[in-house]
A and B are shown apart, each in its own frame.
Chain A
Amino acid sequence: GAGVSQSPSNKVTEKGKDVELRCDPISGHTALYWYRQSLGQGLEFLIYFQGNSAPDKSGLPSDRFSAERTGGSVSTLTIQRTQQEDSAVYLCASSLFEADTEAFFGQGTRLTVV
């Protein structure tokens, strides 16, 4: 596609439920990043995939968060047993290579946990 695509654009879920957020990066981009944008914490790095290397998970806030990237393309961020503090906009970005200096961002998924 022309840009990074994320779905759904909005998600409301009940506390304790699991959610899956999807990211479709720009075709051919080997690096993919997840960030979280929340009122209290600003924009935070979560996880980063580069090609076939093991992902850098150093930003994941707890073991309830996980992500995978299948076939080097689409990525899914999963949050288990959601809590109210998980409410945020989850942003995905991709870049052509790890060494590229421009990351292209999607419009995000707004997650609300009620």
Chain B
Amino acid sequence: GDSVTQMEGPVTLSEEAFLTINCTYTATGYPSLFWYVQYPGEGLQLLLKATKADDKGSNKGFEATYRKETTSFHLEKGSVQVSDSAVYFCALSDRAGTASKLTFGTGTRLQVTL
């Protein structure tokens, strides 16, 4: 079945540091890929998405590129802020172009300090 593997946390960075959170996936077909974020005390929010190979999703300074050849969707940000402290979840959908039946990774907690 489909699966998502993301790096273990927690990840602790100083403000303005470069962030990479690795995500790889296993899926049949051509899934859509997502990064969701959960800020403290809040619900899951969509951060960015990519629906086909080589697409780059971006939002709030975060980027991730759908790499079919390496089955990866790594999250990057050039300069993190304290306000980026949250748990980040990589996910895929079982049907191309939808958010249907998401399979999630285990989440990576990011802590950004001054």
Contacts and interface: CB of A to CB of B under 8 A. Distances in A.
Interface of A: 3-4, 31, 33, 35, 42-45, 48, 56, 58-59, 91, 93, 95, 98-108
B42 A107 contact: yes
A102 B100 contact: no
Given A103-B46, A105-B43, A107-B42, A98 B100 contact: yes
Interface string B62-77: 0000000000000000
Contacts, number: 59
Contacts of B103: 45
Interface residues of B, number: 23
B104 A43 contact: yes
A108 B97 contact: no
A105 B45 contact: yes
B7 interface: no
Given A3-B43, A31-B100, 19 more contacts: A33-B102, A35-B102, A43-B89, A43-B104, A45-B101, A48-B101, A56-B101, A59-B101, A98-B98, A99-B97, A100-B98, A101-B32, A101-B93, A101-B99, A102-B49, A102-B99, A105-B43, A105-B45, A108-B43
B111 interface: no
Contacts of A59: 101
B97 A105 contact: no
Contacts of B46: 102-104
Contacts of B97: 99, 101
Contacts of A105: 36, 43-45
